[in-house]
Amino acid sequence: MRDERARALAEQLAARRKVTMTEAVTQALEGELKREKEPLASRLKQIATTLAADAKPGDKVMTKDEIDEMWGH
C-alpha cells in the first residue's frame, strides 16, 4: 500500500484478527458493503431482539442497593 495511514490501519486490524493484511482488508471491505446494504433500523432491530432474548425476562430484579454497588457507589 502506498498510503501509510491505510497501511498502518491494515496492519493493526490484521494483527488483532491474526490474519494477513490482505485478508483483514478484504474482511473489512466485505463488512462495510454488507452494512451499506442493510438499513440501520434493521440492524438495530436484530440487536434489540438478540438482547431481549438474552435478558431472560422474569429473572431476579435488582434492588437499588445492588445497582449502586455494581456501579461502585
Residue 60 has pLDDT above 90, yes or no: no
Assigned domain for 17 exists:
yes
Domain count, the chain: 1
pTM: 0.56
Enclosing domain of residue 26: 4-55
Assigned domain for 24 exists:
yes
Residue 72 phi/psi, 5-degree rounding, is: 80, 25
Assigned domain for 67 exists:
no
| Mean per-residue pLDDT of the chain | 89
Q: Check residue 57 and give its pLDDT.
A: 67
